[in-house]
Structure 1
Amino acid sequence: MLVAAAVCPCPPLLVPEVAAGAAHELDSARAACEDALGVLAAARPDRLVVVGPAEQSGQGPYQEGARGSFRGFGVDLEVRLGVGPGAGPDGDRPDSAAPERELPVSLAVAAWLLRRTDWSHAPVEGLGVGEPFAAERCIQIGKEVVARAERVALLVMGDASACRSLKAPGYLDERAAGFDAEVARALAAADVTALEGLDTALARELMASGRAPWQVLAGAAEGMGLSGALLYEDGPYGVGYLVAAWS
């Protein structure tokens, strides 16, 4: 069953080394993400599943200890997914081989957040989901994820629209603000039905990478009676960033 969930954005700029001189601009977002992870820790899950958007080559499961990096953004920084007690100074576990497949960017950002907050409360696994995934498939994935352990927590990575301003990655689209506001309302209210009903075509047009992960969350949360809280909402760089916690 799902006992808690945290929803966080996944821009590489969340990592200060990547943002460099502009790092302070997302300080509030980082703080909100840490608060959301605190809700996960307080729920004392048996397992944490990190869900994030991924290109086709990055879709599927990732074991604890999977590596990711930010070298593609000009930063020589490597992370490991959810390595807690028993790890060496560089994150290696003496009893486990390093998985070969590199984490997609969204899960690498999640791994950085987990390291920043010293996550050691439960085993961690990752799951990359694709933008083409239909809502029904995402919802079914969510149900399957939470059926694998008695107390499951989700860390759900993904951005809202990328069309909030003229300088946004997707340029300005007047529909973006309304789409983001509805997602923010649904996350604040833990409104599973609203998330399940998100318009997949519109989300694609608005470059909202969080659509599939949010619908995985919706499937996982069906019938769980969780309550939600919106911890952060803003649109820096023309992209909607949302942080929420469900418990």
Structure 2
Amino acid sequence: MTLVPLVAAAVCPHPPLLVPEVAGAASAELDELRAACAGAVARLLAAEPDRIVMIGCGPATATFGAAEHGSFHRYGIHRRVPLSPADAGDRTDAAAAGPARLPLSLTIGAWLLDRAGTALPRSAVAVAADEPAARCAALGAGLLNPDLFNPELLNADRLGSVTGNASGGDASGRLGLLVLGDGSACRVEWSPGYDDPRAEPYDQAVARALAGADPAALGALDVELSAGLKATGRAPWQVLAGAVRAAGGPWRGELAYAAAPYGVTYLVASWAPTGAAR
């Protein structure tokens, strides 16, 4: 069985305030987080992937191709964010004016890639917040080769064009993952989910797993606990875990940021196969 080589992964959060125009006067408060995300994306691109798949939380598990776009309209910024900037220039005005289908997580991911100046081909997968861990792992493995899907867990047809050259058995394309997700939203009384004593140990466990490139620890995150803590990163992180397990070999991790500036935990990390250039 031939696998698409997974060369690196970047893990970033997706608060809308990450975008300076959305944050407005408060933009400087997230300068450190913004810089950490830029660094993680730079390390992802330095691994020289041939294409990038973004993975983020969404209202339902779905795939998105290059013609899709997101928007910051609900945050007061009239700005379209195309999934593929190269594709956007070739589309008709009617197509460009279509509805924004990308969820916030993938819209932020596309913005991060645009900010990095890359023109690499990209596609995206939204994962439902209640997607079971086994399905998340199956989806991650299927990004490397659809033959790895257990049809009882997830229909491989859902991947559509996201698997790219993997569906044809051609493993020449190097794959990079940009994984978008927030930690708990229950760190203090003014958090979106109020204060929950389980939040800090949960976030600490995730931070350790990301720092240690530990797919087993990410795969073991409890679905109900994660939902109770409003941790939108659980499902995308478990897709990452499934992909890394399928890729095999030892991996190393680097945790670049872990803090809860607005009562929501934001984590930034980079993963790469051990032995890859730093």
Q: TM-score, normalised by structure 1?
A: 0.92
1:157 to 175, 180, 186: 180
2:156: which partner in 1? none
Q: Which moved more, 1:208-217 or 1:46-55?
A: 46-55
Aligned pairs for 1:211-222 within 5 A: 211-222=234-245
Structure 1 residues 30-69: Cα deviation after superposition (integer angstroms, max 9, x where no partner): 111111111111111122000000013xx31111242111
2:205: which partner in 1? 182
1:38: which partner in 2? 42
Q: Does 1:140 align with 2:163?
A: no
Structure with greater Cα Rg? 2
Amino acid at match of 1:207: K
Q: Does 1:93 align with 2:90?
A: yes
Structure 1 residues 12-44: Cα deviation after superposition (integer angstroms, max 9, x where no partner): 111111111111111111111111111111111
1:131: which partner in 2? 129
1:64: which partner in 2? 66
Q: CA deviation at 1:224?
A: 3.8
Distance, in Å, in 2 between the alignment partners of 1:72 and 1:224 is 43
Q: CA deviation at 1:82?
A: 3.4
Distance, in Å, in 2 between the alignment partners of 1:54 and 1:69 is 14
Amino acid at match of 2:255: L
Where does structure 2 lack aligned partners over 5 or more consecutive residues?
A: 146-162, 273-278
Distance, in Å, in 2 between the alignment partners of 1:25 and 1:4 is 29
Distance, in Å, in 2 between the alignment partners of 1:101 and 1:18 is 17
1:242: which partner in 2? 267
Distance, in Å, in 2 between the alignment partners of 1:27 and 1:214 is 24
Aligned pairs for 1:5-24 within 5 A: 5-24=9-28
Where does structure 1 lack aligned partners over 5 or more consecutive residues?
A: none
Residue 227 of structure 1: SS of its match in structure 2? Answer: strand
Q: CA deviation at 1:95?
A: 9.2
RMSD: 1.7
Distance, in Å, in 1 between the alignment partners of 2:92 and 2:192 is 43
Amino acid at match of 1:2: L
2:256: which partner in 1? 231
Give the conservation status (yes or no) of the 8 Å contact 1:82–1:119: no
Residue 75 of structure 1: SS of its match in structure 2? Answer: coil
Give the conservation status (yes or no) of the 8 Å contact 2:185–2:265: yes
Q: TM-score, normalised by structure 2?
A: 0.82
Q: Which moved more, 1:36-45 or 1:237-246?
A: 36-45
Moved over 2 A (4+): 93-101, 146-150
Q: Percent identity?
A: 48
Distance, in Å, in 2 between the alignment partners of 1:31 and 1:196 is 28
Q: CA deviation at 1:100?
A: 5.3
